[in-house]
Chain A
Amino acid sequence: MSLRTKSHPIAGTLAWLASLLMFFPIFWTVLASFKTELGAIATPPELIFRPTLENYTEILSRADYLSFAMNSIVVSFGSTILALVVAVPAAYAMAFYPTKRTRGTLLWMLSTKMLPSVGVLVPIYLFAITTNLLDTRTALVIMYMLMNLPIVIWMLYTFFKEMPKAIIEACLIDGASQWQTMTLVLLPLVLPGIASTALLNVILSWNEAFWSLNLTAHDAAPLTAFIASFSAPQGLFWAKLSAASTMAIAPILVFGWFSQRQLVRGLTFGAVK
């Protein structure tokens, strides 16, 4: 009998305990968002209480949540699409036509990710002023695209490398062009990998909190800026903070839940096999 075919009570219990523990902070936050301010800090903690929506109405009256959320959506998906457009050809070329410099180029790309953003704030800010891009979604889309490009290229590269090279050879010999080979043959094969790369990129862009705060004011401010306006207001703020937090993470959390299967499927394909 294989271990995997029968239910395993001890492993199951431990796994469930760990999962509940990991999820608990999120659950606790959502719970607190429905309490009154005094209820949220009561000791012993309130477990049974009459839920209130007052925190949510208060927040909605103070901030245009939909505008923040819309910016988050546009910016994270926009930058992901743009990153893929640039990265797919590059990763393809690197995987199938490696040169001596390929590995060096890849690692150099990855190392650019380690430069702390705050170190280049002033040059980028000055650049954004001269190009009139301050407080535009375009600026954030470009920044995120560039920021995540190394990771995207690298992940795609590992996916492409798993592809059977014989197929490509055959196509090229048959007289198909590079472009046809790439779009008609290869793309369907690596689609799960691309999907999971894209998902990861959306999550990373959604949660980025430095450029989103520093390059926006009002028009392009995403949810990370929204949360910065509720992070430490005066007086009792635990319940309102919880409500604002819930609102900031709910869209991406739900998105993540629905796409996690895809994320797993894609990852199995490439890098880690």
Chain B
Amino acid sequence: MSASVATAAPKRRKGGGANANTLPLVAPSVILLLAFSIIPLIATVYFSLLRYNLTNPAIHGFAGYKNYLYLFRDPALYSALYTSVQMVVEILILTIGSAAVLASLFEQRFPGRSIARVLMISPFFVMPTVSALIWKNLLMHPVNGLIAWITRSLGLGVIDFFADWPVTSVVLIASWQWMPFAFLILLTALQSLDEETREAADLDGAGPIAVFFNVELPHMSRAIAVVLMMETIFLLSIFAEIYVTTSGGPGDATTNLTFLIYKRALLSYNVGGASAAGVIAIILANILASFMVRIVGKRLDE
């Protein structure tokens, strides 16, 4: 490992001048991000303390902690939090699990491998709205959808995906989109696995399954940590897939935190309530981020 090269000693010593020089380099992005996250943050915190409804100017004035009170008293908040976590975890397991296996398969030589790889990663380029529309209308539709036709032809009846398996359906659609991302990263990680390790395993007479678990999977662990972090960031705010297919229902089965905030902000136009929920989301994001520092960050710094 390159850890020995990276001893911080020499540059620390030269410190003064070099460190002073880095400020103008980091400053623009930090200032921009600060502005981007702090200004809306302040606005959000401020709005969360107001009685502020876009469609009803008669409602105004200072609300104090009332918006938070209404929010915490609302059982929808807790079920939305649970749904958020449930969706992220299920998608992570599904995408990383299948991507690891597929990456291992694609490490083998076979005819047309590069074409197959292009096909495999294509879903990642499809915009979420479109992929949700495709799945909902062309594939999972219980009357006109292709899957309904297949199951009916097999005499299995029809699966009403979005009524009977709402969360699973959303998870499937999102996984279809995000699996290629995980696949791509894990594949590139595997490509750096050196030939000797592999050959040693082959000589030991290890079967492909043993090689996968004992050699490849450990080698991918750092890449898996990267995927875990990147996907979590994107999946926590998953929205289009839910909006297009189930609108958070039936009931609140597929209402995650983002969708709950959306309902507050753009159905009730309750800016106060939506902001309060937004503040909760920010706090949660930071708690989650600090966990990630511990779990993922360490792996990356090795």
Contact = CB atoms under 8 A, between A and B. Distances in A.
A and B touch in the complex (CB under 8 A): yes
Interface of A: 1-9, 11-16, 18-20, 22-23, 25-26, 28-29, 32, 41, 43-45, 86-87, 89-90, 92-94, 96-99, 103-105, 107-124, 127, 145-146, 149-151, 153, 158, 162, 164-166, 169, 172, 178, 203, 206-207, 209-210, 223-224, 227-228, 231, 238, 241-242, 245, 248-249, 252-253, 255-257, 260, 263-264, 267-268, 271-273
B148 to A, nearest CB: 8
Given A7-B111, A114-B237, A119-B277, A224 B129 contact: yes
Contact of B105 (A2, A14, A113, A169): A14
User: DSSP majority for the A interface?
Assistant: helix
Given A89-B24, A110-B229, 7 more contacts: A9-B110, A19-B116, A22-B180, A118-B262, A118-B274, A172-B14, A203-B124
A112 B33 CA distance: 8
Interface in B219-271: 222-223, 226, 229-230, 233-234, 236-237, 239-240, 244, 257-258, 261-262, 265-266, 271
B68 interface: no
B3 to A, nearest CB: 11
A90 B26 CA distance: 4
B131 interface: yes
Given A149-B29, A241-B133, A116 B119 contact: no
A245 to B, nearest CB: 5
Nearest to B107: A4
A86 B107 contact: no
A149 B258 CA distance: 21
A109 B119 contact: no
B109 A116 contact: no
A90 B29 contact: yes
B139 A28 contact: yes
B40 A124 contact: yes
Contacts of A90: 25-26, 28-30
A165 B5 contact: yes
Contact of A253 (B36, B117, B122): B122
Contacts of B30: 90, 105
A25 B124 CA distance: 12
29 contacts: A3-B208, A4-B107, A8-B108, A11-B110, A15-B106, A16-B116, A22-B119, A22-B120, A25-B176, A26-B134, A45-B146, A86-B29, A90-B30, A96-B22, A99-B19, A103-B301, A110-B292, A119-B265, A123-B39, A123-B43, A146-B36, A164-B5, A165-B6, A178-B21, A209-B240, A227-B127, A238-B138, A248-B130, A255-B125
B288 interface: yes
A258 B251 CA distance: 43
A84 to B, nearest CB: 11
Contacts of B275: 119, 122
A103 B297 contact: yes
Top 10 nearest A-B pairs (CB, nearest first) are: A12-B110, A119-B278, A114-B285, A111-B289, A123-B43, A89-B25, A93-B22, A8-B108, A272-B223, A11-B108
B285 A115 contact: yes
A227 to B, nearest CB: 6
Given A44-B149, A257-B118, A272-B188, A227 B108 contact: no
A5 B109 contact: yes
Contacts of A238: 137-138, 144
A123 B120 contact: no
Contact of A118 (B133, B184, B265): B265
B63 interface: no
Q: Which of B111, B134, B301 has the most A CB atoms < 10 Å from its CB?
A: B134
Contacts of B188: 264, 267-268, 272
A103 B139 contact: no
Interface string B183-222: 0111111011001001100100000100100000000001
A121 B116 CA distance: 41
Contacts of B133: 227, 231, 241, 245
Q: Which of B36, B184, B284 has the most A CB atoms < 10 Å from its CB?
A: B36
Contact of A268 (B176, B192, B257, B265): B192
Contacts of A98: 8
B94 interface: no
Contacts of A260: 117-118, 121, 184
B59 interface: no
B47 interface: yes
Interface in B22-64: 22, 24-26, 28-30, 32-33, 36-37, 39-41, 43-44, 47, 54
B126 to A, nearest CB: 5
Contact of A111 (B211, B226, B286): B286
Nearest to A161: B6
